[in-house]
Amino acid sequence: MTRIESTFARLQAEGRKAFVSYIMAGDPDVDTSLAVMKGLPGAGVDVIELGLPFTDPMADGETIQLAGQRALEGGMTLDRTLQMVRDFRKVDNETPIVMMGYYNPIYARGVDTFLAQANEAGIDGLIIVDLPPEEDEELCIPAQAAGLNFIRLATPTTDDKRLPKVLQNTSGFVYYVSITGITGAAAAQAADVAPEVARIKAKTDLPVIVGFGIRTPETSRSIASVADGCVVGSAIVSEIAAGKPVEDILSFVASLAAGAHSA
């Protein structure tokens, strides 16, 4: 079992929902980013999504785009992102890490080389938002063969005809995008999410985790109550962008995690 799979198995056995947090690697700088990352498990985070900065993040809203720009301007690269994971693993060998980003930097590195480096660094899964299921041979299949989970996104526009294709090679968990559009947009509504989560769960045994549009502990709780957990990204990145101390950022994360865990 991967760290992702064992974490969700444990949470299910405990009857608890998962809280997943996203941060951008290197935002606003490597030291601050790593300090936040190291503090996330203690704040109640079950799975860490680590953004890989990219110059053309088409699925991201302004908050995440700006975070990526700050990271890139600070000199963040794929190699430095992998080193950040290695540094995290020196103090935490249990918390799953999912790298989230775009295919171009991986393609440029070479898939086999990247997967070997990701495995060695301690990455457990990938979310690559610009690789559709039709391109599974590019990265998804090799990643799974290398022991990494490949997590796919389902959206409100993923209809019953498309859903089996999305699910066919997905592992670890399914990430359901609660709203149409980009990250950091409208607020998620549990009443809208619940039937969609049920529809996906009828087709897979994988946990379904809901992200996009979650900014408060109350929303975190309401969304987690109708899914297997929730993801918060833009709200946390906004706290980082505001220049708040690491302790304050982690306190905010803890409030969101407590919301999800109380569901």
Active-site annotation holder among 5, 27, 46, 60: 60
Q: Are 75 and 245 in contact (CB under 8 A)?
A: no
- pTM value is 0.96
Output b/e per residue, 204-216; b: 16+ Cβ within 10 A: bebbbbbbbbbbe
Crossing angle of helices 111-121 and 78-89, rounded to 10°: 30
Quickly state the pLDDT bin for 184 (edges 50, 70, 90). low
pLDDT above 70: percentage of residues in the chain: 97
Catalytic site includes residue 247: no
Kindly report the CATH number that applies to the domain delimited by 3-261. 3.20.20.70
Sequence spans of domains, the chain = 3-261
Catalytic site includes residue 49: yes
Lowest-pLDDT range, 92-106, 179-193, 228-242? 179-193
pLDDT above 90: percentage of residues in the chain: 91
Active-site annotation holder among 5, 27, 49, 196: 49
